[in-house]
Chains A and B, each alone.
Chain A
Amino acid sequence: MGLSERAYKLKAILYLHALRTWRYKYSFINGSINTMLWVTIFLLGAILFAKPEDLPRIAPVMFWGVSAWNIVSYTVLFIAGWTTWFLVTTGLVEEHFLHNTSLSTLLSGRLVSVVFESVIAIALVYFVLSSVVEGMDVVDNPLFIVYGLACMVAMALGYGLVLSAAGLRLSIPGTLLDISNFVVFIVGGIATPIEMLPKPLRLVAIAIPYSHAAEVLRYGAVGIEPYLGLGLEAALSGILAAGMLAAGLLYYKYVEDRYVRIHGVKGIGRM
């Protein structure tokens, strides 16, 4: 495939996702605020457990924890969920095969919608939290924030592609396979620094890839020293992100070539 053909496909995929976001504008707005409203309800409740003098220190941690979890869960939902509830339902799997376009390329374009929705959602949470906690400072070093978030997106993209590919083979929508969503928020080192978790849970958090990127993110946000040290956490985040993304793409190619092209799609559409 030549460079111009790649560029043409990339442009088509970006255009598709931007156009679709505009076509379903109410759904887009609804999707942007829905999860974050839920999360904000719990955040505001959890804030009342903290002593007032601790709030300026705790609130930025909560803010970035929720923002990171939002990006991770939206990426997985928008890729794995969209595969079965839209792509398979409307018969677009075969259509893309006929145009020699991998589904993983198409699905990676869903990051366009994730970015749009996340920006709105994160702004909403900031609006509510900053009005509750006066003088909340959420940025210390933007470089580490961007690096941490980028690693988390790459990890979530890889994980979402694995679930999406599994959804094509099984008759279970990909998102229903994602039983880890809420668990990783609490025990996965996303909501709180690993240091704040009870000791047995720290081992669980270290085993979950997102926790390392979250530690780097928190360092950039409020300067909390990462659990395993900044250098090691940053290196681990990058390696794990690249590994998960590569695993997702390779597994997708395997499922496409060795299963879907031979047996067809087994995944179901709307239940």
Chain B
Amino acid sequence: MKVSYVGFIDVVRAEFYSYIRFYKNNRAFLFAAFIWPYLMMMLLLGLGYLFGDPRVYAERLGVRSPVLYVVSASTVAMSSVFIIDEVAGYTLYNRWNGTLPYLILVPMPLSKRLLSASIPSVLLSPAISVASALPVAVYIEGLRGFVLVASLYAAIILGMLPLAGLSVIVAGLVLTTREESNIASSLAPFMLLVSGVFYPVTILPRVLQGVSVVVPVRYVVDIAKSLASTTGAGQLYAAIYALTLMAFAYNLLTVPLLSGVEARVRIHGFE
């Protein structure tokens, strides 16, 4: 008798299908995903205009166009939020839907299972955010705006690889907390806060500056700042090296950590 096993590629393909169907069936959500970077931009610029002058902002950040930078930063922010929410919240949403026991019973290590779920998010979430930012970038900067947004997409993908690993670890740890609500929902704003998404990291308290060193989003923001900078791409290469290193470190960490979580859940269960 021929026995066929579910392979990693099969699960990734299924996750892609599920991801695309979700957006196809929730077009209002897709629309919301498109306009969120603009809402963030409007909130920041609204507050900024009330309290001061955009030229002061551009000068202090060293960027050419404050509007373009805020759109780019909002794109990075929304991509990060989507990935953290979708990947770290994956086990929780399955728990709410009652499908988590089936997920645990899939004959595949939990780390692999969760990593496979993160791949569509890593590739498609930034694509949605970047597609949203593209019209404004092209309108303000023309061809340079297009190149900037395309480069930003590559930077976000690179940054989301370690972020996905980190989110997978959180998704596993959520199984051990014995609470039903989304206790990981503050993870995304915390990462954005310490990453200096709309401001330089140096204005933060020292302890938060220290934390930001191990947060991948910080380096994606550094790349976005370099791309929008008036002084050249000084931070670019350091950020790329840091992200590459973190992509390996966080994704390798998922295996031992989630093996422990999986063993615990199989014995003690989850509420």
The reply to whether B54 and A49 form a contact with Cβ atoms under 8 Å apart is yes
A59 to chain B, nearest CB (A): 10
Residues of B within 8 A of A (CB): 43-44, 46-54, 56-57, 60-61, 70, 96, 177, 179, 181-186, 189-190, 192-193, 197-199, 203-205, 208
Give the Cβ gap from B68 to chain A, nearest Cβ, in Å: 15
User: Which residues on A sit within 8 Å (CB–CB) of B96?
Assistant: 270
Question: Tally of A-B residue pairs with Cβ under 8 A?
Answer: 107
CB distance from B54 to the nearest CB of A (A): 6
**Closest Cβ of chain B: how far from A131's Cβ, in Å?**
4
Total interface residues in chain A, CB < 8 Å: 35
Binding stretch for chain B, among A22-30, A149-157, A215-223, A251-259: A22-30
Distance, CA A196 to CA B197, complexed state (A): 26
Taking a contact as CB atoms under 8 Å apart, the answer to whether B205 and A127 are in contact is yes
Q: What are 19 A-B residue pairs whose CB atoms fall within 8 Å in the complex? A: A26-B179, A33-B190, A37-B190, A37-B192, A41-B192, A41-B193, A41-B197, A41-B198, A42-B43, A44-B193, A44-B198, A49-B47, A49-B48, A58-B51, A58-B52, A128-B193, A186-B43, A191-B50, A192-B51
| Cβ distance A260 to chain B, nearest Cβ, rounded Å | 26
- Asked whether B186 lies within 8 Å of A49 as measured between CB atoms, the reply is no
A27 to B174, CA, bound (A): 11
User: Do the beta carbons of B50 and A182 come within 8 Å of each other?
Assistant: no
**Minimum CB distance partner of B46 in chain A:** A186
For residue B208, which residue of chain A has the nearest CB?
Answer: A128
Q: Does residue A263 face the partner (Cβ distance < 8 Å to B)?
A: no
Given contact pairs A27-B183, A41-B189, A42-B43, A51 touches B50 in the complex (Cβ within 8 A): no
CB distance from B67 to the nearest CB of A (A): 12
Question: Are A38's CB and B189's CB within 8 A?
Answer: yes
A48 and B205 form a contact (CB under 8 A): no
Cβ-based interface call for A108 (8 A) = no
Q: Is the CB of A50 within 8 A of B56?
A: yes
Q: Which residues of the partner chain B approach A41 to less than 8 Å between Cβ atoms? A: 189, 192-193, 197-198
What residues of B have a CB within 8 angstroms of the CB of A42 in the complex? 43-44, 47, 198
Q: With the chains together, A196 CA to B53 CA distance in Å?
A: 14
The residues of B that contact A132 with a CB separation of less than 8 Å are: 203-204
Residues of B within 8 A of A26 (CB): 177, 179, 183
User: CA separation between A41 and B43, bound complex, in Å?
Assistant: 11
Q: Which of A34, A43, A54, A182 contacts B186 (CB 8 A)?
A: A34
List CB contacts (< 8 Å) of A5-42 with chain B: 24, 26-27, 29-30, 33-34, 37-38, 40-42
